[in-house]
Structure 1
């Protein structure tokens, strides 16, 4: 990250100065007016704002707490140790941690060289990002969206180990730079940047760790991740072998947990990918059909029309 940004975020804050001078615990009044330690967005955000940043408070143990907003933590340098719903998460340089509103978090003391930045974000800020991710059905996207919503059925945190992914690093740095500065239209700039960040993160599901309290939630994520990464040739038999499950049991479990068969989930992913290629490339329809896993072009035309209400060519021409 840009050294100027790190220098600005690394300045000892008034709160940290109090801790260095002998304060042994956080000042709760900085974070909430309630009896329970639920950090309040009204304390963290100026009136009318949907997003802000603040450097992570170092030198002190931050006790168990929740937030009434979505928090995203990015480590600019060093590392921090978090206990989230009882699980230990070590956030290292260049990594991102998304926490939703039902996550219980505890943070161990960080040193002076451990510089992190906290994004305080109201849920409605993500509207633009979700729109940019597309309106067509995308099951893995829906899972990620659910993780960011106040819905205890989904994971309470997402840990993206993306220190080696340059586009992600650039986008996060752009957001930090914009929020630290006084640029005009910075809300819109950062909403679009967040959308671009989400689109990038969707390509790195192999770099996500998360808390999923139930076996069923873990299984859904495993199935959707496999389909997202192997939609062209992915077979249920292979997935069952990878997960070490009986294929007939897995088939029934997928249907029960998602409301769709494995074949239907695979088809949704293939058609979403086909629609992306139709709108963003000039690849022929025949080649797109093969690229997404359909060697029979006539069959591809038939299921595409059934799903989208028009042929692939009509779909492409509708936005050209």
Structure 2
């Protein structure tokens, strides 16, 4: 299976064929509609997806650019040379590089045998991971800054894990699951990605990283876990009591770290859960509203429409027409 996948990935794409024939620079229109070079997730992700993979285009240098998503570079075969921020990194086969959406990097042209897999991931794909992350680790800091930090600090995590078999197997399973989706693939990918995060945390000694900005890890991660687990009835006062913090001080820390208030984070979680229930169940809309913790129907309709530009009924009707 892995040999077949390598042969598939070694094939020259249409974009690469044009580069080899007469074009010595990338076609930016493939990657962005913006004048500044920020690669856009919408170019590669459909509306229903939060994660995909794409083979990095070979034979041409990529100039300085950012992404509007979290990118993970994985060297499936060969090597990958790039400058991330001010640091030069030579990524070797089996190694991983996490880049948040705020860091600028540029890459050298890859040779034919250099197969780089780019994971394109919307930040909120990682929301679920806060339900099991430990409170003090580099990945939690990276994700908090990527998902919420309004200061737009560029960060990367470089994992030299080519010898860690459990990590290599998980990455290849994720790649195959995304490239050849089957029944329950979306759930399977999330589970594999969660396991990957756990394995990377266990091998944090093999990671290089940018200097972290101080974040109140314990307070923020525990707050996000609390919202994820208790969104139906969550309250700032109850959380503050659990964490032995004054409510006003905890509120200030949450706002400082995430750029959102506790109420805004809770509302986002409830709306996402309501959308999930509308998509995956036949539960009456009134029951969905109750299930996610709202008792004011008109208020729920207002905030749901403000976020998704449709009422819950219209949202469901639109799904039925697909």
- Per the normalisation by structure 1, the TM-score is 0.64
2:142 is matched with which residue? 144
**Residues 1:106 and 2:106 aligned together:** yes
Query: Hey, what's the Cα distance between the residues in 2 that align with 1:153 and 1:121?
Result: 17
Task: Note if contact 1:16-1:57 (Cα within 8 Å) is conserved in structure 2.
Answer: yes
Task: Note if contact 2:84-2:104 (Cα within 8 Å) is conserved in structure 1.
Answer: yes
How far the C-alpha of 1:147 sits from its partner, in A, is: 4.8
Name the count of aligned residue pairs: 222
2:56 is matched with which residue? 56
User: Tell me, what secondary structure is at the counterpart of 2:110?
Assistant: coil
- Per the normalisation by structure 2, the TM-score is 0.64
Task: Note if contact 2:71-2:98 (Cα within 8 Å) is conserved in structure 1.
Answer: yes
Structure possessing the higher radius of gyration over alpha carbons: 1
How far the C-alpha of 1:133 sits from its partner, in A, is: 2.2
2:232 is matched with which residue? none
Query: Hey, what's the Cα distance between the residues in 2 that align with 1:108 and 1:189?
Result: 34
User: Tell me, what secondary structure is at the counterpart of 2:202?
Assistant: coil
1:33 is matched with which residue? 33
Q: CA RMSD in A?
A: 2.5
After the TM superposition, list the runs of 4 or more consecutive aligned residues in structure 1 that deviate by more than 6 angstroms.
none
Map 1:274-293 → 2, pairs under 5 A: none
Q: Deviations over 1:114-148 (max 9, x none)?
A: 011111111111122332325xx445553232354
How far the C-alpha of 1:182 sits from its partner, in A, is: 2.5
When residues 170 and 33 of structure 1 are mapped into structure 2, their CA distance, relative to the original with a 3 A threshold, is: same
Query: Hey, what's the Cα distance between the residues in 1 that align with 2:50 and 2:215?
Result: 33
How far the C-alpha of 1:180 sits from its partner, in A, is: 1.1
Query: Hey, what's the Cα distance between the residues in 2 that align with 1:24 and 1:114?
Result: 18
Task: Note if contact 2:138-2:204 (Cα within 8 Å) is conserved in structure 1.
Answer: no
2:192 is matched with which residue? 193
When residues 138 and 87 of structure 1 are mapped into structure 2, their CA distance, relative to the original with a 3 A threshold, is: closer
When residues 31 and 153 of structure 1 are mapped into structure 2, their CA distance, relative to the original with a 3 A threshold, is: closer
Query: Hey, what's the Cα distance between the residues in 2 that align with 1:187 and 1:24?
Result: 37
